[in-house]
């Protein structure tokens, strides 16, 4: 498999080139286009329970598509949900990488594992519908951001990130989620939870936040007519 990330950083598009019998797995809805020599099979990856767990805890879709090339040099184009950038992360055997649930686009490597990291409150970004997926190698995972991807390298210090701006982080980092600002009302105005990262590694931060866009659009919604009127 070869890949190229086109149109980075604002509207990134992933081009994957597959050889005969090579496969690529992608989030349902991520496909933009493909050559005719690629077959698609839709499955509940990880079995029914695994898929349900990912759907309800991880926020990704229940179904995933597996693309298999019949001949060599077949192209597949994929995109993330929001406008923004795309990145690839190659993982060795047993190496882990943490992704915000909505950032996952696809992966190569049939032995790559995707699991919802559900360590109670610690892994649970309540309120904003964000969860953390643990991706374990071997394989390459592709992920997308809303806005640009800003990399922050940590060397043992603490670093705080709004949970809505987290894209990914390396396995070497530890984190703790807490309320930010101290005002309960701020949960409604878009600023709510932050994660304090600690350790040596990299945090990938996205420069836009889907909850912020939703908060902007909310006042523009029509107002429901009251029952009885």
Partner 1 sequence: MHIEIQYNPAHSLATVHLAPHESIRAEAGSMVSMTDNISVTTTAGHRSGGGFFGGLKRAALGGESFFQNLFSAGAMGGKVSLAPSLAGSMVVHELRLGEELFIQGSSYVAAPESVTLDTQFQGMKGFLSGESLFFLKATGQGPVLLNAFGAIEKRELNGELIVDTGHLVAFTSGIEYSLSKAAKGWIQSFLSGEGFVLKVRGRGTLWLQSRNPSEFGGTVGRMLPAREG
- The footprint of partner 1 (CB under 8 A) covers 9-10, 83-84, 147-148, 150, 152, 157-162, 165, 180-183, 185-186, 189-191, 203, 205, 207-209, 212-213, 215-226
Q: Which is nearer to partner 1, 57 or 103 (CB)?
A: 103
Compute the least distance from the CB of residue 11 to partner 1, in Å.
9
Q: Which is nearer to partner 1, 19 or 153 (CB)?
A: 153
Compute the least distance from the CB of residue 40 to partner 1, in Å.
30
Compute the least distance from the CB of residue 197 to partner 1, in Å.
9
Q: Is 153 exposed, middle or buried (0-12, 13-18, 19+ CB in 10 A)?
A: exposed
Q: What's the chain's length in residues? A: 229
Prior bond of 9 cis (ω within 30°): yes
Q: Is 22 exposed, middle or buried (0-12, 13-18, 19+ CB in 10 A)?
A: middle
Q: Which is nearer to partner 1, 33 or 213 (CB)?
A: 213
Phi, psi (5° rounding) for residue 202? Answer: -125, 135
102: helix, coil or strand?
A: helix
Compute the least distance from the CB of residue 36 to partner 1, in Å.
34
């Amino acid at each position: 498999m070869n890949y190229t990330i086109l149109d980075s950083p604002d509207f990134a598009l992933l081009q994957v080139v597959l050889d005969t019998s090579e496969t690529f797995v992608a989030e349902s809805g991520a496909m933009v286009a493909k050559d005719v020599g690629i077959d698609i099979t839709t499955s509940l990856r990880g079995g029914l329970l695994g898929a349900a767990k990912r759907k309800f805890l991880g926020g990704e879709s229940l179904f995933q598509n597996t693309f298999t090339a019949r001949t060599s040099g077949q192209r597949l184009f994929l995109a993330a949900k929001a406008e923004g950038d795309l990145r690839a992360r190659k993982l060795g055997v047993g190496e882990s990488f943490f992704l915000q649930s909505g950032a996952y686009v696809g992966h190569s490597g049939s032995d790559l594992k995707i699991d919802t990291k559900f360590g109670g409150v610690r892994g649970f970004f309540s309120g904003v519908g964000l969860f953390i997926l643990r991706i374990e190698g071997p394989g390459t995972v592709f992920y997308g951001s809303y806005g640009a991807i800003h990399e922050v390298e940590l060397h043992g210090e603490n670093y705080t990130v709004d949970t809505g701006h987290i894209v990914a982080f390396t396995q070497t980092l530890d984190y703790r989620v807490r309320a930010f600002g101290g005002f309960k009302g701020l949960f409604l105005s878009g600023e709510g939870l932050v994660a304090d990262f600690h350790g040596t590694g990299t945090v990938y931060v996205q420069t836009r936040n889907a909850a912020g866009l939703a908060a902007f659009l909310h006042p523009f919604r029509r107002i429901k007519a009251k029952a009885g009127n």
